[in-house]
C-alpha cells in the first residue's frame, strides 16, 4: 500500500515504515511543510516505488520485516548511486548503520525525533 500527495513544483520525499502510526505522522509533517510524499509500509516495495516516482529523498525505517531499510537502501543505490537516504531508527548502534554513516553516505534520525529536527534534516539534505 502506498500513498502519493501532489503539490506542484515540490520535492518528493518517499517515506517507508512498517509502523503505520509513525508513517502517517511523518507524512503529515512532511506534506504540511510543502513536500510531495510517497508512503509505503513494505520495505520490499521501496526500490520499485523509488524507480517509479524518482523521489528526491528516501526516509526509511532501518529495521522492518521482510526487506529491511538497509537492504532496501542497497537496492535503491543500485538504481541510482546518487540517491539520498535518511534512516529512522531506534537502534542507532547497528554495525551496518554505523558503517553507512561513517562512509558519509547517509544520515540517521534516532527515534523518537521532533518534527523540527525531521524537517531540518530533510531541508539540509535536499532543500525545499
d(CA 13, CA 27): 9
Tell me the average confidence (pLDDT) per consecutive run of 10 residues in the chain, 128 residues long: 54 96 97 96 95 96 87 91 91 72 77 95 90
pTM beyond 0.75: the answer is yes
Q: Which domains does the chain have, with CATH numbers?
A: 2-126 (3.40.50.2300)
Longest dimension (CA), the chain: 39
Q: Bridge-partner residues for 4, per DSSP?
A: 38
Amino acid at each position: 500500500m502506498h500513498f502519493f500527495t501532489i503539490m506542484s513544483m515540490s520535492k518528493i520525499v518517499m517515506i517507508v515504515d512498517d509502523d503505520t502510526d509513525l508513517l502517517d505522522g511523518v507524512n503529515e509533517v512532511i506534506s504540511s511543510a510543502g513536500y510531495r510524499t510517497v508512503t509505503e509500509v513494505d520495505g520490499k516495495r521501496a526500490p520499485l516505488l523509488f524507480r517509479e516516482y524518482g523521489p528526491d529523498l528516501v526516509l526509511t525505517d532501518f529495521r522492518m520485516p521482510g526487506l529491511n531499510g538497509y537492504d532496501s537502501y542497497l537496492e535503491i543505490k543500485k538504481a541510482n548511486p546518487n540517491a539520498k537516504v535518511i534512516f529512522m531508527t531506534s537502534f542507532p548502534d547497528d554495525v551496518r548503520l554505523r558503517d553507512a554513516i561513517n562512509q558519509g553516505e547517509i544520515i540517521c534520525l534516532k527515534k523518537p525525533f521532533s518534527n523540527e529536527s525531521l524537517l531540518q534534516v530533510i531541508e539540509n539534505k535536499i532543500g525545499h
